[in-house]
Amino acid sequence: MLKRLAHVTLYVRDCEEALQFYTEKLGFEKRMDTRMDDGSRWLTVGLPGQELEIVLHDPTHWHREEIAREMLAAVGKNPMWVWETDDFWQTYETMRQRGVKFVSEPVEVVYGMEAIFEDL
């Protein structure tokens, strides 16, 4: 039986840029960073205290060229993710000061506070 979701893959154009964004701007920690013999890279990040890891996946080394192009075309078109925080306003202000671009002002909605930001 399935017991937990361990990894979610996020297509990225540049692993270093994505690693910097997720660690320095959003506060994630780097979990794994392994280079394979074929030049591909297994790079994951996660929130401190949470088991789930996000795979920052540059498909150019993993897949045939036409498949990699399709995956790269999907960058920035991923499903919406909803994050939880202990202090919305403090988190919002910290992320804003770190250079995260918000596409909407904070607003209260039925499920809580919402502020939508741009991913890479």
Q: Kindly tell me the sign of the dihedral angle through the C-alpha atoms of 90, 13, 10, 30.
A: negative
Where does the pLDDT of residue 102 fall: very low under 50, low under 70, confident under 90, or very high at 90 and above? very high
pLDDT at 56: 93
Options 3.40.50.300, 3.10.180.10, 3.30.9.10, 3.20.20.70; CATH of 7-118: 3.10.180.10
Rg (CA), the chain: 16
Per-domain residue ranges of the chain: 7-118
pLDDT at residue 61 greater than cutoff 80: no
Whether pLDDT at 23 is above 90: yes
